[in-house]
């Protein structure tokens, strides 16, 4: 075996081991059951209801902040079906609106729809956490790419959720979002 082939084989093995380690121990390895015992328990009908103020940052593939944002949200529920309207303002001055249509099953399963999703999002709330996975299509101005997203929302107290999301293309992390969501008293 030539030296170059040995080096390439070694690099491929290291990349495979790194990917496996991340899959088994990192962000992607979390499961809703990991948070089943944490209290207070999240109930999206309660904790994503009414006016919500959100502040966050988006990190690019190098781990540096690429964007900051503020968002005003409003959640409305009728039984197990709800709508979460989001109005984002980014540090660039760009504005974005999204409306999530959410359904909560009796077993804690969540389905999510929005106009910029490819298909339907699926998730699970358990204990103090909610995991939601979906594919989002970016606007043409941002390249129009479809990215696989995993959102984790962790209930901190009765009014505060910390959201951490990773965006992947072909399994490679291309962005990460961290935000706080605080219910605003009426």
Note the Cα 91 to chain centre separation in Å.
20
List, for residues 123-158, the tens digit of each pLDDT value: 999 999 999 999 999 888 878 899 999 999 999 999
DSSP structure string for 128-181: TEEEEEEEEEPPGGGT--EEEEEEEEEEEETTEEEEEEEEEETTEEEEEEEEEE
Tokens encoding 68: 């900051």
Q: Are 5 and 66 members of one domain?
A: no
Contact between 84 and 102 under an 8 Å Cβ cutoff? The reply is: yes
The pLDDT tens digits for 24-71 are 667 787 888 888 898 999 999 999 999 999 999 999 999 999 999 999
Q: Are residues 10 and 48 in the same domain?
A: no
φ and ψ at residue 80, rounded to 5 degrees: -95, 10
Average pLDDT of 165-176? 95
The C-alpha atoms of residue 93 and residue 69 are separated, in whole angstroms, by 9
Give CA separation, 153 vs 15, 103, 145, in Å.
Answer: 29, 16, 24
* Distance from C-alpha of 135 to C-alpha of 152, rounded to nearest angstrom: 15
| Residue 24 confidence (pLDDT) | 63
Do 85 and 9 share a domain, yes or no? no
Which structural domain range is residue 43 located in?
35-183
Residue 147 sits in a domain whose CATH number is: 2.40.128.20
| Same-domain check for residues 134 and 174 | yes
- Please give the Cα distance from 151 to 132 (Å, whole number): 5
Same domain, 49 and 90: yes
Q: Are residues 21 and 44 in the same domain?
A: no
Whether residues 114 and 83 share a domain: the answer is: yes
What integer pLDDT is reported at residue 13 of this predicted model? Answer: 73
Mean pLDDT of the 163-185 span = 95
Q: What pLDDT sits at residue 38?
A: 86
23 pLDDT exceeds 70?
A: no
């Amino acid at each position: 075996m030539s030296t170059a082939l040995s080096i390439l084989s070694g690099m491929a093995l290291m990349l495979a081991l790194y990917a496996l380690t991340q899959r088994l121990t990192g962000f992607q390895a979390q499961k809703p059951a990991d948070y089943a015992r944490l209290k207070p328990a999240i109930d999206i009908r309660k904790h994503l209801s009414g006016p919500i103020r959100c502040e966050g940052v988006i990190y690019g593939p190098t781990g540096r902040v690429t964007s900051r944002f503020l968002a005003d949200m409003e959640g409305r529920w009728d039984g197990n079906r709800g709508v979460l309207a989001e109005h984002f303002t980014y540090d660039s001055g760009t504005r974005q609106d999204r409306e999530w249509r959410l359904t909560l099953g009796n077993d804690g399963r969540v389905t999510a729809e929005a106009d910029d999703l490819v298909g339907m999002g699926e998730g699970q709330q358990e204990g103090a956490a909610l995991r939601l996975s979906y594919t989002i299509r970016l606007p043409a101005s941002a390249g129009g790419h479809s990215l696989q997203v995993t959102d984790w929302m962790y209930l901190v107290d009765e009014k505060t959720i910390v959201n951490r999301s990773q965006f992947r293309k072909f399994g490679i992390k291309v962005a990460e979002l961290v935000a706080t969501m605080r219910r605003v008293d009426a």
